[in-house]
Amino acid sequence: MMRIFAIISLFAIILPSHLQAQDTLGKRKQDSVLNVSVNKQINSIERLAAERIADSLRRADLELQMAALSETEQQKRAGLLKELNALKQRDSLQLMRQKHQVDSLRQFVKGFPVAPFADTLFYVYTRQGSFTSSERAAAVSSRIKKICDEVSFSADSLKIVTSEQTVDVIFKSSLLISVSDQDALWANTDKRLLAEKIKNVIKVAVIKYRDETSWATIAKEGLLALLVILLVVLIIYGINRLFRLVLSKTNNPTAWYSRGIHLRNYQLLKPEQQRNILHGIIRGLKWLAIILVIYLALPVLFGIFPVTRNISGTLLGYVVTPLKKILLSLWEYVPNLITIIIIVIAFRYVLVFLRYLKNEIAYGKLTIPGFYPDWANPTYQIARVLILAFMLIVIFPYMPGSDSQIFKGVSVFLGVLFTFGSAGALSNVVAGLVLTYMRAFILGDRVKIGDVTGDIVGKTLLVTRIRTIQNEIVSIPNSTVLNSHTLNYSSDAPEKGLIVYTTVTIGYDVPWRQVHQLLIDAALNTEMIDKEPVPYVLQTSLDDNYVSYRLNAYTKQPNKQAVIYSGLHQNIQDEFNKAGVEIMSPHYRAIRDGNTATIPPEYLPDDYEPPTFSMPQQPGKPKDE
């Protein structure tokens, strides 16, 4: 069994991991294919850019050649003009292709942020010369930081200079960034306009940073931080005072919350326990309020200083982001929740209808041919389980997390565990259902199952419980009951009566008619023995020393067999003792003294006279012999 459980556990652990590994591997393959496609498009864009640069150089050369021609060289001018127009048309087509490819790459390619002061100013998407996009972003951030340390910084020191291929943003004589046609393509604008925008962004960011890091600003921020700390201390002090007052007010032993909790006749909580739980909840709320105040104060405190402003956003994100996800998930789950509620209500009314039919059949108000009233409750329970299982199957796709691999793995694990672990229990359940519809016995019947005799006091899907005449409760698994023979004493007793019987052995010297009458009289004198039908006697064997007589009598109280048999045996002894008849079972050998009575005199009635029986005369002998 331990091996099976270990195998199941290993299977439950490996299955979700295997499914997750397959998903990860598939995702990696998909990402690899996507990266190859993106790199191809980026290389194609760079190749088109190089071709455009070459074409622009060729156009400049052609324009110089045309300017150098005289008016008489019209044919040569026409050729140069044709080539120049072709280059312009080609450049236009290449530009359109570049824009199209850039637009298709926007959702896959993420730019590198230029963030010299924690906040992102703009993004860099393209490489330039030997610098990659990330290296360009880092270099530009470093240059912007350096100009903040300039004492003589002025916004007018930032200028835009147009070079042959780029538009440069410079501070005094230092280059900050060169804006190329590729940068303009990713920004979906002209490189001159992009350079102007970047210059204005840098100017605003530097001025803001210098203002925030000035001594006057730092002093104001410090005073504001002290004010926040003082306010938090006061709030915590007020919370402590408030909850201390609440605790003192809730310490009243005569209040409604100090009477204990009762569930009918059971006291769930004593008054002291109820007050202790209430005070524990109040103390927990106090600490929750204090922690909440401190946690909300930290983002405010960190948000005062520019250096720690990102920490403020992070702290708030720890609370806001999960709450936002939870609320959003709940909102998105509302349609599925409504669907589940409708399904549950519909199945509930189906069960209500089946319960109504069950009650009608059980009370005999509704009769179905071939369907017994005692079948109503077990049939309802079976139908209820099947309907609930079907309801769970219908609801399952609408449950949260039903699509996750972990959820599926756990479901498979529980199913396999239930299958292996409940094999024996399921056999008992099936046997219990079979016994119910076999109607081998009902509650209260006196039965004998195997070696156990007693009254049926309980029937469940797993076991049958029997109370023996010694008041012992014996629980027998239903599978054992089904595989054993069952003797039911009560099934026909109310109508036909149960025959109780006992056997006595009497010597051949006692007339059989006298024995029959004595046994019948003993039966009629026994309580709970029916007078009708009349008891009867059967002679079951003629043995060497005695005759076996079996007394049969009817009773309609099979659950009182032990008392009936005890009284019957007592009356048999009394009747035979009165008649002076010796019961030969168990048989024994004794030297006879001629006395017919075998009962001590003190047990004989006052008017008792020993009976006389004449021995039959043997043929051929005189009577006086």
Question: What element of type H or E holds 235?
Answer: helix 215-249
pLDDT digits (tens, 9 = 90+) for 71-106: 666 677 777 677 777 777 776 666 677 666 666 666
Are 475 and 571 contained in the same domain? Answer: no
- pLDDT band for position 338 (50/70/90)? very high
Is 432 among the domain residues? no
Are 182 and 222 contained in the same domain? Answer: no
Is 239 among the domain residues? yes
Q: Residue 178: beta bridge partners?
A: 168
Last residue of a domain, one of 281, 305, 329: 305
- The enclosing domain of 520 has a CATH number of 3.30.70.100
Which residue range forms the structural domain that includes residue 500? 493-603
Are 64 and 120 contained in the same domain? Answer: no
Is 311 among the domain residues? no
3-state SS, residue 244: helix
Q: Give residue 465's pLDDT.
A: 92
Is 347 among the domain residues? no
Are 471 and 572 contained in the same domain? Answer: no
Using the predicted structure, report yes or no on whether residue 594 has a pLDDT greater than 60: no
Using the predicted structure, report yes or no on whether residue 195 has a pLDDT greater than 90: no
The answer to whether 487 and 444 have CB atoms below 8 angstroms apart is: no
Are 148 and 94 contained in the same domain? Answer: no
The structural domain count of the chain equals 5
Last residue of a domain, one of 275, 305, 335: 305
Beta strands in 343-481 (DSSP E): 446-449, 452-459, 463-467, 473-477
Question: What element of type H or E holds 268?
Answer: strand 266-269
The CA-based angle 486-492-497, given to 5 degrees, is 120
- The enclosing domain of 455 has a CATH number of 2.30.30.60
Range of weakest confidence among 229-233, 283-287, 439-443: 439-443
Rg for the chain (alpha carbons), in Å?
53
C-alpha distances (whole Å) from 348 to each of 344, 387, 389, 393 are 6, 10, 13, 15
Nearest residue to 395 via CA among 441, 353, 337: 337
Are 56 and 120 contained in the same domain? Answer: no
Are 126 and 88 contained in the same domain? Answer: no
Percent of the chain with pLDDT over 90: 20
Lookup: tokens for 507: 């010597």
Residue type present at position 493: A
Is 393 among the domain residues? no
Are 137 and 189 contained in the same domain? Answer: yes
Range of weakest confidence among 217-226, 275-284, 543-552: 217-226
Are 227 and 144 contained in the same domain? Answer: no
Nearest residue to 519 via CA among 542, 495, 491, 540: 540
Are 169 and 187 contained in the same domain? Answer: yes
Q: Give residue 371's pLDDT.
A: 82
Is 84 among the domain residues? yes
Lookup: tokens for 259: 């009477």
Is 67 among the domain residues? yes
- pLDDT band for position 209 (50/70/90)? confident
Are 9 and 90 contained in the same domain? Answer: yes
pTM, full prediction: 0.47
Last residue of a domain, one of 156, 188, 213: 213
Burial (CB < 10 A; 0-12, 13-18, 19+), residue 78, is exposed
Is 616 among the domain residues? no
Percent of the chain with pLDDT over 70: 74
Our measurement of the distance from residue 585's CA atom to the centroid of its chain's CA atoms, rounded to an integer in Å, reads 69
User: What's the mean pLDDT when you consider all of the chain?
Assistant: 78
Are 233 and 185 contained in the same domain? Answer: no
